[in-house]
Structure 1
């Protein structure tokens, strides 16, 4: 993939952005697989929700965003929304596993 400075026109830039977005979405899917797998190690609904871990994770994502020059508020919102969805799905997965035990 070309660097932004190597792109010769807007279509090349858009193609590169699309490729990056495809990879980001694929990586979110991989992340979600780990989230579902984590459910088997959790013993309660509180462990699934893990509020301390959630808040700690958000703080580290803010730091990582700042390190690369991104707005930490935007990255926090992105992860807050994404991980809240993942937690809801993990909870469903955890509850389903508990019913089948």
Structure 2
């Protein structure tokens, strides 16, 4: 259809959408590309859209950033759980120590 019926001959055409797995609504599917048939300035398609290796690199970089954020969140959660457990352990130990002292007082009387 390029170059026919008023369609420019050099526009970016997104990859064909396969019907298999279409209803999974995966955000990485080409269905979510919002470029459709677009005519870019100077007729140059951006590298991030045209070069498959660059697209893969962008995805990998974003995944690495997300992993670092998840690791930081997990470290903070670990620290919070450690502080909570320490306070609970201290309170339980103190309660046990106090109750054993009370029992000794009652048994001696």
| TM-score, scaled relative to structure 2 | 0.32
Structure (1/2) with the larger helix percentage: 1
Of structures 1 and 2, the one with the larger relative CO (CA 8 A, separation 6+) is 1
